[in-house]
Chain A
Amino acid sequence: MKPYTMDFDVKARDFSSAGESSSKFRKTLLMLSIPSDIVRRASIAAYEAEMNIVIHSYGGKMHFEIYSDKIVIIAEDTGPGIKDLELAMKKGYSTAPKEVIEMGFGAGMGLPNMKRNTDTMEIVNHDESGTKIVMTINF
């Protein structure tokens, strides 16, 4: 079955519109009558991924695929990659600049929160050419 797809560009450091694509994705899930616990998990994973692109990358995009039995979220950016993935996966480890932390982000919970809320999370690429993360949530 062909999935329902959504695509959004995510600008680096644009905090006023950061989270808009996750918010639109969430509204679509609600409209499609997806179970509320799935909506919650998918929205959190998407939002954390989107915020990571805004905070850490040169810009990127969010791609969503909604199937009848699963949701696939793909977050992709154009660099500079994740230097130490093992550290980045640890709760509380953060490389976010001071001004981002003052906004309430960069707590070092992004990747752990994404992993916790999805059934599979694969970091396809994380070198300087960009980071690509594919997450799946099964119903």
Chain B
Amino acid sequence: MKLDEVKEILNAEVLCGHDRLSEEVNTACGADLMSDVLASKDEKSLLLTGLTNVQVVRTAEVLGDIVCIVFVRGKEPGPEILKMADSASIVVMKTDYPLLSRVFCTKMDLTVGVNFNREAVYNGF
């Protein structure tokens, strides 16, 4: 799925990486614990998180396969986070949707586009 579809589904606002919305993601990972993210599989992923500290971007950077970070619950990341994400070529968005479970990491197969509709995102995360 392309990032501009993700943006549409999550009713998200793009905060950096406007020019990279045509990039694809294959899976999504929802987590508020960075070690759970680090234990995730090697695929082009979307990271949904309620954490807004620089370590979120650092974790994504170290993994190297997180294409986009979506901050949930309307949280606004600071300029330092956006600057770091931009230099690591990571797209950043924010959405008002919540991460339903705080310590809950789930992987969703986005390669089948039909699985990834608004309801699935809402229920899955």
Q: Nearest chain A CB to B103's CB is how many angstroms away?
A: 8
Q: Is the CB of A44 within 8 A of B38?
A: yes
Q: Is the CB of B35 within 8 A of A107?
A: yes
Interface residue A4 (Cβ < 8 Å from any Cβ of B): no
With A19-B55, A22-B62, A43-B63 as known contacts, state yes or no: A104 contacts B32, CB within 8 Å. yes
Interface residue A31 (Cβ < 8 Å from any Cβ of B): no
Q: Mark A72-104, 1 if CB is under 8 A from B, else 0.
A: 000000000000000000000000000000011
Q: Is the CB of A103 within 8 A of B35?
A: no
Q: Which residue of A lies closest to B61 (CB)?
A: A23
Interface residue ranges of A81-133 to B (CB < 8 Å): 103-105, 107-110, 113, 116
Q: A103 CA to B51 CA in the complex, in Å? A: 7
Interface residue A71 (Cβ < 8 Å from any Cβ of B): no
Q: Is the CB of A113 within 8 A of B54?
A: no
A residues less than 8 Å from B62 (CB atoms) = 19, 22-23, 26, 43-44, 46-47
Q: Is the CB of A26 within 8 A of B64?
A: yes
Mostly, the A contact residues are helix
B residues less than 8 Å from A26 (CB atoms) = 61-62, 64
Interface residue B65 (Cβ < 8 Å from any Cβ of A): yes
Q: A12 CA to B34 CA in the complex, in Å? A: 19
A residues less than 8 Å from B34 (CB atoms) = 104-105, 107
A residues less than 8 Å from B64 (CB atoms) = 26, 36, 39-40, 43
Q: A104 CA to B63 CA in the complex, in Å? A: 16
Residues of A within 8 A of B (CB): 15-16, 18-20, 22-23, 26, 36-37, 39-40, 43-44, 46-48, 103-105, 107-110, 113, 116
**25 interchain pairs, CB-CB under 8 A:** A15-B53, A15-B55, A19-B55, A20-B58, A23-B58, A26-B61, A36-B64, A39-B64, A40-B63, A43-B63, A44-B38, A46-B62, A47-B38, A48-B38, A103-B51, A103-B55, A104-B33, A105-B33, A105-B34, A107-B36, A109-B33, A109-B36, A109-B38, A109-B39, A110-B35
